[in-house]
């Protein structure tokens, strides 16, 4: 059993959906997880925000635009008149649900129901396409098996029991189609796994079914060694370890949702990143296979806030660190990076929802300074502590960049540092010197890595 997840651009219009259908020709049973069509979740979120701020007419107008987009897709998708009609009816029914919620009054649960429609639309249409094409396909509604607990973690036991039951009810199917991203929460209400969460759905499904592979299909040939939006001559990496991929995803490589790796790693399921627009490319394989030491990739995460906390006494005075972290714990705010000196500690956070409260509490026992608009740049690879030269190589490239914090040695897979976001593009470009020059035509080259030896 394989799990194949197709992202928003891979299902972004009728032609793309047909291309996905053409890719599904093997004999092995598969689960297909789909995102909403590109841009649709953003529009749905916008509709809920307009409705919440009382701008109902604008919300309804936006809803109509989105309905038209889906109707157009249905018109180009099906061969027969009968299926075009079925598709249109299906779309109109779902949009009626949005409109009635907007008109009848509006609450938080309605928002989540509306945001969930993006995946329900893409999956409904795609399942109809497979049926029209004569494929043995079954629709497995995510809302009937995907569930998170009160800590918003997937309830693996529930998911396994229910997904298997639903699949067994369709024993003749070869392609099981399901929605990414959407789920029910501990109260049984419609919820989601967070933005970009369809990758996580695929990983959870792969985990509970003991899949032999999870494929994530996007619109680029796998994970690149640097950010192709800002740097020229980047190239796809052919192999990464689970830990390297997790660091890259967490620290900004946009290609994969950061929570995707763990459910696959614990079951040793390879995650393969593939390109729908270039399916013959081998993509990137993320697995437990040992690969070469050295620097493999660079990623950057924006929107970081640095907090400097200076103790009125010595830092290591008993209990100080405990008191500091307790505050972040109380406000459920994850800390990304930490550095310490004798009297102070600098750390970074991503979510600033509770920043004001955190600063207020910390200020009761320390001096606190906050700096916004920071970027974490993360150099990923495999650099055991016994090997020399890696940190020197990285910081040698960055002589011109003012560096605010450095974190090295927390894991053998990551050297990261904090800079003002203003310097991000320059830093990424300078770090590209770490990689041997590769022309686009060489980009299928195996395992091109920087290595000081």
Of 196 and 263, CB closest to ligand ASP: 196
The distance in angstroms from the start CA to the end CA of the chain is 41
Of 30 and 256, CB closest to Mg ion: 256
Q: Total residues contacting Mg ion (rule CB under 5 A)?
A: 2
**Binding string, 125-164, against ligand ASP, x = CB under 6 A?**
----------------------------------------
> Quick one: what does residue 294 bind among ligand ASP, Mg ion, none, with the CB cut-off 5 to 8 Å set by partner type?
none
Give me the count of residues in the chain. Answer: 453
* Residue 6: CB minimum distance to Mg ion, A: 10
Would you say 34 and 11 are in contact if contact means Cβ atoms under 8 Å apart? yes
8 contacts ligand ASP (rule: CB under 6 A): yes
Which own/partner contact pairs does 234-237 have at CB distance under 8 Å and 24+ positions apart?
234/432, 235/435, 235/438, 235/442, 235/443, 235/445, 235/448, 236/281, 236/283, 236/284, 236/443, 236/444, 237/284, 237/296, 237/297, 237/447
Of 12 and 196, CB closest to Mg ion: 196
* Residue 218: CB minimum distance to ligand ASP, A: 10
* Residue 123: CB minimum distance to ligand ASP, A: 11
* Residue 363: CB minimum distance to ligand ASP, A: 36
Would you say 209 and 161 are in contact if contact means Cβ atoms under 8 Å apart? no
* Residue 431: CB minimum distance to ligand ASP, A: 28
Q: Which stretch binds Mg ion (CB under 5 A): 87-95, 99-107, 190-198, 351-359?
A: 190-198
Interface positions, 32-61, toward ligand ASP (CB under 6 A)? 35-36, 41
* Residue 195: CB minimum distance to Mg ion, A: 8
> Quick one: what does residue 181 bind among Mg ion, ligand ASP, none, with the CB cut-off 5 to 8 Å set by partner type?
ligand ASP
Would you say 378 and 248 are in contact if contact means Cβ atoms under 8 Å apart? yes
* Residue 118: CB minimum distance to ligand ASP, A: 5
> Quick one: what does residue 36 bind among Mg ion, ligand ASP, none, with the CB cut-off 5 to 8 Å set by partner type?
ligand ASP
124 contacts ligand ASP (rule: CB under 6 A): no
252 contacts ligand ASP (rule: CB under 6 A): no
Interface positions, 179-238, toward ligand ASP (CB under 6 A)? 180-181, 195-198
Of 160 and 219, CB closest to Mg ion: 219
Of 7 and 236, CB closest to Mg ion: 7
Of 9 and 416, CB closest to ligand ASP: 9
Query: Which residue in 268, 271, 227 sits closest to 245, CA to CA?
Result: 271
Q: Give CA–CA dist 381/359, Å, rounded.
A: 35
Q: Give CA–CA dist 301/251, Å, rounded.
A: 5
> Quick one: what does residue 118 bind among ligand ASP, Mg ion, none, with the CB cut-off 5 to 8 Å set by partner type?
ligand ASP
Contacts of 118 (CB under 8 A, 6+ apart): 35, 36, 37, 40, 41, 44, 181
> Quick one: what does residue 258 bind among ligand ASP, Mg ion, none, with the CB cut-off 5 to 8 Å set by partner type?
none
Of 11 and 434, CB closest to ligand ASP: 11
Would you say 380 and 299 are in contact if contact means Cβ atoms under 8 Å apart? yes
196 contacts Mg ion (rule: CB under 5 A): yes
Contacts of 428 (CB under 8 A, 6+ apart): 226, 227, 230, 231, 298, 300, 377
* Residue 34: CB minimum distance to Mg ion, A: 11
* Residue 39: CB minimum distance to ligand ASP, A: 9
> Quick one: what does residue 173 bind among Mg ion, ligand ASP, none, with the CB cut-off 5 to 8 Å set by partner type?
none
Phi, psi of 338 (to 5 degrees): -140, 140
Q: Total residues contacting ligand ASP (rule CB under 6 A)?
A: 12
Contacts of 120 (CB under 8 A, 6+ apart): 94, 179, 182
> Quick one: what does residue 195 bind among Mg ion, ligand ASP, none, with the CB cut-off 5 to 8 Å set by partner type?
ligand ASP
* Residue 298: CB minimum distance to Mg ion, A: 20
Q: How far is CA 293 from the centre of its chain?
A: 26
Q: Which residue is associated with the tokens 């060489």?
A: 442
Phi, psi of 445 (to 5 degrees): -50, 135
Would you say 267 and 206 are in contact if contact means Cβ atoms under 8 Å apart? yes
- State the residues that interact with Mg ion by CB under 5 A: 7, 196
- State the residues that interact with ligand ASP by CB under 6 A: 7-8, 35-36, 41, 118, 180-181, 195-198
């Amino acid at each position: 059993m394989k799990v194949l997840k197709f992202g928003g651009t891979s299902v972004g219009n009728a032609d793309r959906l047909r291309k996905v259908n053409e890719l599904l020709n093997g004999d092995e049973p598969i689960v297909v997880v789909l995102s909403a069509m590109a841009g649709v979740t953003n529009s749905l979120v916008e509709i809920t925000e307009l409705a919440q701020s009382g701008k109902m007419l604008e919300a309804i107008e936006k809803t109509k635009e989105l309905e038209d987009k889906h109707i157009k897709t249905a018109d180009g998708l099906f061969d027969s008149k009968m299926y075009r009609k079925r598709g249109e009816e299906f779309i109109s029914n779902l949009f009626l649900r949005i409109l009635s919620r907007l008109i009848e009054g509006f609450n938080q649960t309605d928002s989540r129901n509306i945001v969930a429609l993006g995946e329900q639309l893409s999956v409904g249409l795609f399942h109809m396409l497979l049926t029209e094409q004569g494929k043995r396909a079954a629709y497995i509604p995510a809302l009937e098996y995907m569930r998170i607990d009160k800590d918003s973690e997937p309830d693996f036991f529930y998911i396994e029991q229910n997904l298997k039951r639903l699949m067994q009810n369709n024993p003749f199917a070869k392609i099981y189609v399901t929605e990414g991203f959407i789920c029910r929460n501990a109260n049984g209400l419609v919820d989601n796994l967070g933005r970009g969460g369809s990758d996580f759905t695929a990983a959870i499904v792969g985990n509970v079914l003991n899949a032999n592979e999870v494929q994530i299909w996007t619109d680029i040939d796998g994970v690149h060694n640097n950010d192709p939006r800002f740097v020229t001559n980047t190239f796809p990496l052919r192999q990464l370890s689970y830990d390297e991929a997790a660091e890259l995803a967490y620290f900004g490589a946009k290609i994969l949702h950061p929570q995707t790796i763990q459910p696959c790693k614990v079951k040793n399921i390879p995650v393969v990143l593939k390109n729908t627009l270039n399916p013959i490319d081998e993509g990137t394989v993320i697995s437990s296979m040992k690969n070469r030491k050295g620097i493999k990739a660079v990623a950057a995460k924006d929107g970081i806030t640095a907090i400097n906390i200076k103790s009125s006494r010595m830092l290591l005075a008993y209990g100080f660190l405990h008191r500091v972290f307790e505050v972040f714990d109380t406000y459920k705010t994850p800390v990304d990076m930490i550095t310490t000196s004798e009297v102070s500690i600098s750390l970074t956070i991503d979510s600033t929802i509770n920043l004001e409260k955190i600063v207020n509490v910390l200020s009761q026992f320390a001096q606190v300074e906050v700096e916004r608009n920071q970027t974490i740049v993360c150099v990923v690879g495999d650099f055991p502590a016994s090997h020399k030269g890696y940190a020197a190589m990285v910081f040698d490239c960055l002589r011109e960049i003012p560096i605010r914090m450095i974190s090295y040695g927390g894991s053998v897979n990551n050297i990261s540092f904090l800079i003002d976001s203003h310097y991000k593009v320059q830093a990424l470009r300078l770090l590209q010197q770490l990689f041997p020059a590769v022309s686009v035509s060489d980009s299928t080259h195996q395992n091109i890595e920087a290595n000081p030896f």
